[in-house]
Structure 1
């Protein structure tokens, strides 16, 4: 059986970012192994029939010594597992994972670029460091699956990654889980009752880790202005606190937000239900690759307000499915949210158009098919026979650069 390893920094990524894909790859005939730091999602990963192997030295924080040890640990692990394919994800594991796989002699190595960790407007030292590492790591792969067309252009034209290696992957979500259905109104009433939110309230939501890079400082500042003018509005925030991160949202900021009536729900497994209770979705991030939460919200029939950055521009069509606002601008964010709070007709029109856009562009089955076809092509080039169980996975998606 063809052995496929997916590598991420943390087990949360294996399950929440890649879980349905790992299941699909297993159904297609691959032996699928997930490698990451261990955590609370291991049981769910293994329930998919995916073998989990812990990476002891993996960390999301800046720790060059541990990263070097993780590289050596991975090289030894790949030599032991002898995978046919190693597929890496996330900025750090994407770099040292490709290096380790090539050092271990893995026949097929590829990486998904979920979002370059530097953008053209960043300071030169940051761009030089990130781009230099990405360029070096890309020499160890046969393919780079790029979610965002803006990143693909940067990889090709700035980093000079050979175009033959670049595949435009796009991104997608489970449209059966997040698409609106006939029971949405009942779920909406049920969730609002659970949260103690009146049916007449206009509910704005945000989903994401509580870190400043997600734009929470601007969102909470904007919300103070919105709720002062529109006390019928409610803001609900879903996502875990990240106290160990350097840019964790300060406790005093969260306390002031709670005083403004903001509901912080923490980590939830039922976000598809929570979207049903919302009227507007907000993503105020400073940096994104191709944001899943915004795709989920659009598929759920919500108007979306997002920052005008790479990734959000691929999800929101301003004036059609939502609004784009300047990054780090609380006044612009407040104006966009307030405009939708008072205009139910525009909210509904944006939501209908967003759901249609999601059906056309954000189907995860297209991502799965593009990935499987890339595996097949690269295994064939390496003289290896890929499994053939790809029936029923939907239409192909993606395109070579």
Structure 2
């Protein structure tokens, strides 16, 4: 995200970032000092109550009314929902919802209905909605989240992938062992539990396997700690990982067992290091991974299918080499950071000509 803000600053845009004060805000503060954008803290927390929500709406409305900015772009479902309500008190501002994922996707019952209503309202109030992947945009239109006329589809992450030192495809060799990796947030929707199930299936099949996990635990992490402890002989938990190159160079395959993705940035990053990906065939991830070319996507929710895909690489090193080669080629040609940021700038720049509807 820091590169994203910096790119617009280099193009002569003044960028103001509204953010809740949390762990990420420290990194943003350092970025603000380094590259010169303005940062404003909203009265919001990760565990909001009604009072907190109302305060954030009024704060955002005041900021929008007093702002001279031509364009307001909001990221994350909660921030965009707050902005959608706030703009009713601050008409005449061009508002864009940058949708990284639909939180109602994969939910059931009352929770799905409430989240669906929230996201549909957000899309309705926005002048334009940018989706980070074609499959996400198609799903949103097909299920009535947004009018197709408002959609600006976009293929890729917000910043692309950083250049790295890996230039040659990887080889797994003729061995009966493999190192798996998981990289990202550790929570229910990310499906980390499936990673432990894959270990069980592979070990029963006689495959020597290790799992390296990088990422922060969200919420109560007691279940995760007990899982890691019971698998301590073959699982290593690193916590938050800053050195991505070291992480991806230490694994053979990345597991992406998520039940919900907007695009699948960790899969793209793994591919940029020549690491194939095994995950579920869901919205978003199917744009990040070309199944059968840069990895394998299998039936959502099926742990045995994940394990079978991993075993396919162990049993056929030639396929592993082909997928590693294709992964390097695709990320190098289509997702280079400078090219992605340039496309982002062109996309956002065209929105300055759009007349606000609110």
TM range (shorter): 0.7 to 0.9
Q: Is the 8 A contact 2:20 2:44 kept in 1?
A: yes
Deviations 1:188-226 (A, max 9, x none): 9xxxxxxxxxx9963211101221221111111221332
Paired residues for 1:1-400 under 5 Å: 18-38=1-21, 39=23, 40-46=26-32, 47-59=34-46, 61=47, 63-105=49-91, 107-119=93-105, 122-123=107-108, 125-159=110-144, 161-172=146-157, 173-178=159-164, 180-181=166-167, 202-227=178-203, 229-230=205-206, 232-244=208-220, 249-258=223-232, 260-382=233-355
| Counterpart Cα distance in 1 of 2:276 and 2:354 | 45
Q: Is the 8 A contact 1:169 1:370 kept in 2?
A: no
* Alpha-carbon distance between aligned partners in 1 of 2:342 and 2:7, rounded to the nearest angstrom: 9
For structure 1, which segment, 226-235 or 303-312, has the greater mean C-alpha deviation from structure 2 after superposition?
A: 226-235
8 Å CA contact retained: 2:271, 2:277: yes
Cα distance, 1:106–1:50 mapped onto 2, change above 3 Å = farther
Tell me how far 1:379 sits from its aligned partner: 2.1
Deviation at 1:170, TM superposition (A): 1.9
Partner residue, 1:12: none
Structure 1 gap segments, 5+ residues each: 1-17, 189-198, 384-401
Q: Distance in 2 between matches of 1:174 and 1:355?
A: 13
Any idea what SS the aligned residue of 1:177 has? coil
Q: CA deviation at 1:228?
A: 5.2
Cα distance in 2, alignment partners of residues 128 and 140 from structure 1 = 18
In 2, distance between residues paired with 1:22 and 1:98? 22
User: Secondary structure of 1:41's partner?
Assistant: helix
The Cα shift of 1:26 comes to 0.9
- Contact 1:36/1:54, CA 8 A, preserved across alignment: yes
Could you tell me the TM-score, scaled by structure 1's length? 0.78
Report the counterpart of residue 5 of structure 1 in structure 2. Answer: none
* CA offsets 1:259-300 (integer angstroms, 9 cap, x no match): x42011110111123212221111111111101000111121
Contact 1:146/1:152 (<8 A) preserved: yes
- Asked whether the equivalents of residues 104 and 115 of structure 2 are also in contact (C-alpha less than 8 Å), the reply is yes
Contact 1:216/1:284 (<8 A) preserved: yes
Q: Answer 1 or 2: higher relative contact order, Cα 8 Å, separation at least 6.
A: 2
Shifted more, 286-295 versus 339-348: the winner is 339-348
CA-based RMSD:
2.8
Shift of 1:110: 0.5
Q: How far 1:139 sits from its partner (Å)?
A: 3.0
Moved beyond 6 Å, runs of 4+: none
Shift of 1:236: 0.7
Gap change, CA 1:374 and 1:227, over 3 Å in 2 = same
- Tell me if the contact between 1:233 and 1:341 (Cα under 8 Å) persists in the aligned partners: no
